[in-house]
Amino acid sequence: MKIWCQNGSEHSANLVMIGHFKDVAEAAKACRMIEELREHMMQGQELGASDIYEPPDRYNTAILDLLERLGIYNITPQELEQFTYDVRLRNVEDTLVLRTEESEISAFLKVMIEKGARVEVFSAHDHSINAEQQNHPSN
């Protein structure tokens, strides 16, 4: 008889990441970069080019070209799979709001920081969006 022992959780992270940028143009640029990375990675999934259960330890030529064109040099090959996760991204004025049930968000954080954002990250389970953010059009 084989007994399965593994820690698991049905509890979602319910994370909120808010990037505050210098201006509208920088927020829009970061949003486009994230969307382009997500699109590229999702196409790879559909074509069977990558396996989310075994992240690569090296970049392929296509992703290297994309990262270079976008000017992003600090995302590891293992972090690329994060762009295939279910996230909701909203860009309003000089702010990006990302919501996800995942706890691995370092790739998104790196893009926002690389583009000059001041970033807040919190669990919506434990913290609510403050009044200023509530009145912001992104919520």
Angle of CA points 43, 48, 50, to nearest 5°: 80
Q: Which of 106, 89, 107 is nearest to 98 (CA)?
A: 89
pLDDT in tens, 69-82: 999 999 999 999 99
| pLDDT given for residue 99 in this prediction | 96
| pLDDT given for residue 134 in this prediction | 45
| pLDDT given for residue 12 in this prediction | 80
pLDDT in tens, 49-66: 555 556 667 888 999 999
Q: Distance between CA 15 and CA 98 in Å, rounded?
A: 8
| pLDDT given for residue 127 in this prediction | 74
Q: Distance between CA 106 and CA 46 in Å, rounded?
A: 23
**CA dihedral for 118, 58, 29, 115, sign (positive or negative):** positive
pLDDT in tens, 8-45: 555 588 899 999 999 999 999 999 999 999 999 998 76
pLDDT in tens, 124-137: 887 776 534 444 54
